[in-house]
Chains A and B, each alone.
Chain A
Amino acid sequence: MEGGIKAWRGETAAGVPEAGMAYFAAADSLETLVALAWGLEEGSRLFYQGVADRFTDTPAAIALFKELAGAEIRHKQYLLNAYRAAVGAEPDFERHRLRLGGALSGEIMEGGIPVDLGLAWAEGRTTSEILEFAMSMEVNAYDIYIKMERRIDDEKGKRIFQTLANEEHLHLRRLAELRETTG
């Protein structure tokens, strides 16, 4: 429901950047999906680091956003290591530049939202609003990795995305716990 409970009450709801659910063509290769995942992790890292540095003064939120930014760095490294282990070769992300564009440089975060749009939205928002937005991003990250896992037949490839899906679910829970204690 657009605008959530605020819209139901007749209040104007703050416009959150519209996230998209992911879908994939059957022909996507493991390398394409790992390249996209790597770029989205970088985009999410930039968002978390940005809001921690500029848009909240709540110590617990700053700590969590920085922790999540660090987790995204670990996810990027995990993707590279896991791809090498699964395929026995280095991934060549640049081959996918035409299709993935700025996402390979971290311009897009999980949910398909441009990082600059997410950060522009976060300016002047309350910590609770930013936490809610981050939760929606993590839900989309969870969704995207579940779908990537389904698209890959290789067991090692599947495990890459299962691991990331579980991690994103943990992030979601952490954000939800903090949201519950942040009025």
Chain B
Amino acid sequence: MGLMEFFTAVPTMPADAVKRLLDEKGPEHFNLIDVRQPGEYAEQHLAGARLIPLGELKDRIGEIDPAKPTIAY
């Protein structure tokens, strides 16, 4: 057993695959979470995305529906 057994990559998805998924199934079937800062969200965000900045994620985890897949950016 080596060091890297302690770390495993988080699954990621290319932007075009996310677009296809949202188009096919509709954003209501996902937790689409914008984890950037409020100023960045105000400037531009994906349609239907909910703003939960990284620093607030711990306290607002209850806002994420565990029954739906979550896409974060």
Residues in A lying within 8 Å of B, measured CB to CB: 1-5, 7-9, 18-25, 36, 99-103, 108, 111-112, 135-136, 139, 142, 144, 169, 172-173, 175-177, 179-180
| Majority SS at the chain B contact face | mixed
- CB-defined contacts of B57 to chain A, threshold 8 Å: 139
Determine if B37 and A21 form an interchain contact, defined as CB atoms under 8 angstroms apart.
no
Q: State whether A7 touches B46 (Cβ < 8 A).
A: no
> Assuming A1-B72, A5-B73, is B4 touching A112 (CB within 8 A)?
yes
Given contacts A2-B12, A21-B10, A169-B58, 15 further A-B contacts (CB under 8 A): A1-B72, A4-B73, A8-B15, A8-B18, A8-B19, A8-B46, A8-B73, A20-B4, A20-B8, A21-B8, A103-B3, A172-B54, A175-B55, A176-B37, A180-B38
Q: Tell me if B60 counts as interface (CB < 8 A to partner A).
A: no
B10 in contact with A99 (CB, 8 Å): no
Query: Which residues of B lie under 8 Å from residue A3 when comparing CB positions?
Result: 14-15
A19: B residues at CB distance < 8 A: 10
A55 to B3, CA, bound (A): 28
Contacts A99-B2, A101-B3, A180-B37 known; A1 to B55 CB distance under 8 Å?
no
Q: Is the CB of A7 within 8 A of B14?
A: yes
CB pairs A–B below 8 angstroms (12 shown)? A1-B73, A5-B44, A8-B15, A9-B44, A18-B9, A20-B4, A21-B8, A25-B1, A99-B1, A101-B3, A135-B54, A173-B55
Q: CB within 8 A of B15: which of A2, A23, A142?
A: A2
- Please name all residues of chain A whose beta carbon is closer than 8 Å to the beta carbon of B44 when the two chains form the complex: 5, 9
Q: Which residues of B contact A112 (CB under 8 A)?
A: 4, 6-7
Specify which chain A residues have a CB less than 8 angstroms from the CB of B1 in the assembled complex: 25, 99
Least Cβ–Cβ distance between B11 and chain A, in angstroms: 10
Q: Which residues of A contact B12 (CB under 8 A)?
A: 1-2
Q: Roughly how many angstroms separate A103 CA and B3 CA in the complex, as a whole number?
A: 8
* B39 proximity list for chain A (CB < 8 A): 180
Roughly how many angstroms separate A66 CA and B12 CA in the complex, as a whole number?
A: 32
